[in-house]
Structure 1
């Protein structure tokens, strides 16, 4: 178990990092592990969490069904999407950012956003990388879902 530091432990902050072996280094067959029930229900599209012991970044695989538009939401952490397949757009505040497979999209912190799959036939999939764990560990990660929190 990792030590939790408090203000009395300031003298234990060293100039040289120490390697601590994590509990695991690989999460095999991420999508076969299944959707994250609560997150998928809130976002109204499938979300698969990459389950690794990161403290600063997270990675998820998001799926959009043909024609699907997600709920608007915002959060205090940044997001970078990498589109694996499909075509659509991400609405960031009042701007539509159109994307297709191979594109990367940046979503700034606290920007209202949602995602739309423009195809009525084909699904869209993307990888989302976020600094949510870092902000969660600092106690400053917030997420707001339109329709749930407003």
Structure 2
């Protein structure tokens, strides 16, 4: 029986292993000023039960949002086919990923694997928590395979 070699998996540490010959394509927008002043995304914020501000730039592979958790706030449980990395900018809280609870504070980064049920909570009653979320959602959306499920709404 012939042994099949699996394709190599790449992560962010492997940039030096890729040798593409891309072309520069001029885009219409290189900066999104005052992201939070542009206003929160009403539908998304309502679904997730916390303020969400989208960074509006013409990315094809990664997205960036600013998430806010008001005092003592807990988001809805949800999952999606894209990965997420959170960088905590302010406050202290926790993220529940499947059956594991990860505590975080300003300066920490949290990884949420694809299709893992998760939710976020603020540990403080009076202080807001804020994080920057980076996801590969646009890449999967452009391929037609991005899915998102909200507990109670879709399950």
Alignment TM-score > 0.5, same fold: yes
Count of aligned residue pairs for this structure pair: 136
Aligned to 2:38: 33
Deviation of 1:84 after TM superposition, in Å, equals 0.4
- For 1:16, which of 17, 21, 28 is the aligned residue? 21
1:63 aligns to 2:65 (yes or no): no
CA distance in structure 2 between the aligned counterparts of 1:91 and 1:79, rounded to whole angstroms: 13
Structure 2, unaligned runs of 5 or more = 1-19
1:114 aligns to 2:119 (yes or no): yes
Deviation of 1:100 after TM superposition, in Å, equals 0.2
Summarize deviations over 1:20-66 as a string: whole Å, max 9, x none: 10111000000000000110000000000000000000000000000
- For 2:86, which of 61, 81, 84 is the aligned residue? 81
Aligned to 2:141: 136
CA distance in structure 2 between the aligned counterparts of 1:38 and 1:52, rounded to whole angstroms: 19
Deviation of 1:16 after TM superposition, in Å, equals 2.9
Structure 1, unaligned runs of 5 or more = 1-14
After TM superposition, the runs of 4+ consecutive aligned structure 1 residues lying more than 3 A away are: none
